[in-house]
Amino acid sequence: MQRDAGDIIDRWAIAKLKAERIGVDESKREYLSFCEGINELEKKHPEIEWDFYKENILKIHSTIWDLESAVRRGKLDNDLMEVGRRAIQIRDWNKKRVALKNEINLKTGEGFQDIKQNHSSE
């Protein structure tokens, strides 16, 4: 798979959630494709505790998905304070997501460090 390790695991988690929560065939195929990428990473870098990273990135994406869900469906259109609170939480979870991807790329020596500049998630 032609992506860096951090991106593979990040996209794997998104694809897994889509396959589980949406369940369309395309989502399932995408998930299987990223599972192959994860298998390649595990073979290439057996010294890395991949289960730890998979569990953590999946938790992060699941939390973000749950926070965004009601906003995306318009269920909070009349509660702008809650929308604002969720936006801050999403920003903070995204900061953890980027840090985890950067850690993976650093350990594998692949890809690049995702650096945010003039961004409140710094």
Q: Is 73 within the bounds of a domain?
A: yes
Whole-angstrom distance, CA of residue 40 vs CA of residue 17? 21
Q: Which helix (H) or strand (E) holds 31?
A: helix 25-44
Question: In terms of residue numbers, what domain contains 78?
Answer: 5-108
Name residues whose C-beta falls within 8 Å of residue 69's C-beta, 6 or more positions apart in sequence.
none
Report yes or no on 33 lying in a domain: yes
Question: What average pLDDT does the structure give for the chain?
Answer: 92
Q: Measured between alpha carbons, how far is 59 from 82 in angstroms, rounded to an integer?
A: 21
Please report whether residue 85 resides in a domain. Answer: yes
pTM: 0.87
- Other CB atoms within 10 Å distance of the CB of residue 100: 19
Euclidean distance between CA atoms 53 and 42, whole angstroms = 11
pLDDT tier, 30 (very low <50, low <70, confident <90, very high otherwise): very high
pLDDT bucket at 55, cuts 50 / 70 / 90: very high
Q: How many domains, in total, are found in the chain?
A: 1
- Has residue 41 been placed in a domain? yes
